Amino acid sequence: MRATLIIVFILLLLTGCELGFTDTPQSFVAPDGPVAGMQGDLFLLSVWLMVGILVVVSVLLAYALWRYRDRGQKEIPFQNPGDLRFEVVWTLIPTLLVIFLAVPSVRIAYDVAGLPRGVDDALEVKVTGYQYWWKFEYPQLGIVTANELHVPVDRHIDFTLVSTDVIHSFWVPRLAGKVDANPGKQTHFWWLVDRPGVYYGQCAEYCGTSHANMRMRVIAQAPEEFDAWVADMRAAQATTPAAALADTPAMDNGSGTALIARGRELFMANACGACHALGDAAATGDVGPDLNNFGKRHTLAAGVYENTLDNLKEWIRNPDAMKPGVIMPPFPLSDDDLDTLARYLLSQK
Ligand code: CUA
């Protein structure tokens, strides 16, 4: 009975493990870039080394238990007060093992901290952690976005990471290991993404009530697609109110530009622009996520909800109910106004 319980307990524990050799969305030993590759190899090297040690120690232990088992003899067995040869051996072996692991660990720690020598076309990205979302700035390109990081494949990404409030940890398991985002201290590291796709990540350092709701997506694109995204973002951020009205596509409910105009009024009247940037509404807030091209994002609330009209309305009405601890206050608008504001935001694309 007890053995069964122990086995069930171990199996339950194992359900928390990613056994690693699988192609799961957040498997850190199924790397899609050289950084995760180096780190994954180092991890596996230490795992196999430990497995080897476990096997050797277990065999020796089993042998000793069997060889020196109680055979009913009366006298106390030989007591060994110490043997220099043994002591040298069991000090030397662990020391050699530590050195064996330290050499590649230190080398990789340096390799992932600074761009490889000779790389001069890296894309700079500044990541800022907020309670509870991520800001992504592209200083060379003059654009800003949030929670969904677009990067080109096969190009080095030169990251600067910082936090505005508490310590967060930036982690996209298939692309690289965790890096802490510290308030007031910039950390540098780089990535290179091998193939296009969407990669999932999350904050990996407990940072408050909605730590578990601080997710992100990395959208790795072919260079042409990435350039198109950049052009689109630049256009959105440079849009003036008049221009936005002129080329706004017809809305779902058919009210087109009138709805847009009313939506922007609501956006301004509720002071949304004090916290959010939105070119079209001449808003430059920097407290919450940048909303340029918001309608093109797949998710809401740092990757937690799908970006749909219903979710967005719920969100504006009472963000805290969807994401406990969020800084954004509730906006108890009338149903009509809520619908208009949400449609206006979704029209930003
Ligand atoms: Cu941010 Cu946990």
Question: Does the C-beta of 201 come closer than 6 Å to ligand 1?
Answer: no
Cα separation of 140 and 193, whole Å?
19
Least confident of 57-66, 68-77, 121-130: 68-77
pLDDT of residue 185: 93
In angstroms, what is the span from residue 334 Cα to ligand 1's centroid? 33
Confidence of residue 232 (pLDDT cuts 50, 70, 90): confident
- 283 bridge partner residues: 278
The closest alpha carbon to 271, from 255, 258, 287, 247, belongs to 287
In angstroms, what is the span from residue 246 Cα to ligand 1's centroid? 41
In angstroms, what is the span from residue 302 Cα to ligand 1's centroid? 11
Q: If you average pLDDT over every residue of the chain, what do you get?
A: 86
pLDDT of residue 10: 81
Does the bond joining 132 to the residue before it have cis omega, within 30 degrees of 0? yes
Question: Does the C-beta of 214 come closer than 6 Å to ligand 1?
Answer: yes
The closest alpha carbon to 90, from 116, 121, 56, 113, belongs to 56
> Is 264's pLDDT higher than 90?
no
pLDDT (mean) for 98-117: 91
Confidence of residue 9 (pLDDT cuts 50, 70, 90): confident
Pairing of strands 215-221, 277-278: unpaired
Question: Does the C-beta of 129 come closer than 6 Å to ligand 1?
Answer: yes
Half-sphere exposure of 326 (CA within 13 A, CB side): 23
Cα separation of 103 and 245, whole Å?
61
The H or E element that residue 51 is part of is helix 34-67
Most confident of 202-206, 302-306, 308-312: 202-206
Half-sphere exposure of 297 (CA within 13 A, CB side): 29
Burial of 62 (0-12, 13-18, 19+ CB in 10 A): exposed
CA dihedral 57, 61, 67, 68 (to 10 degrees): 140
Atom of ligand 1 nearest to the CA of 129: 1
3-class state of residue 79 by DSSP: coil
pLDDT of residue 21: 57
- 143 bridge partner residues: 138
